[in-house]
Amino acid sequence: MSNAEARLIELGIELPKPNAPVANYVPFVRVGELLHISGQVSLDAAGGIRGVVGEDVDLETAVRAARLCGLSLLAQMRAACDGDLSRVARVVKLGGFVQAGPDFFEIPKVVNGCSDLMVDVFGDAGRHARSAVGVYRLPMNFAVEVDAVVALS
């Protein structure tokens, strides 16, 4: 069992089934040792967290939404690595998008929900470069979307 898998068990995390694409794209592309993962939205079995952060969605809920994105990213990583998360050498970069209201400026705090999860699971290899951007709208009214670039071994 890899350290990442052991950490998931310690944290009591069961990863969701990887999300299927909803348009004309693939969930991930591997180029050499880099894995590019398409944006994962704040979806869960209950339908996910949707709405405008700062209006329909409060900060605490938005942080949970970003964590949901992170769980989906981990599920895509596992799928891309044929079930073996030990092949993840480093989370290189996250791109976080928050459907933010006009008076909401805590966008980096929201994306920390995903960033913190990567560090919790991968330790120092989970520390990454990052963008955190407020946007007008996200697909299907989801509150948060995060994509990733991951180095594989």
The reported pLDDT for the residue numbered 142 is 98
CB 16 within 8 A of CB 44: yes
Instruction: Report the half-sphere exposure of 11 (CA within 13 A, side-chain side).
Output: 18
| Rounded average pLDDT per 10-residue block, the chain, 153 residues | 88 94 95 97 95 98 98 98 96 98 98 98 98 97 98 96
The reported pLDDT for the residue numbered 2 is 73
Choose among 150, 148, 38, 40: nearest CA to 94: 148
Choose among 91, 80, 82, 90: nearest CA to 31: 80
How far from chain centre, in Å, is Cα 63? 11
The reported pLDDT for the residue numbered 22 is 86
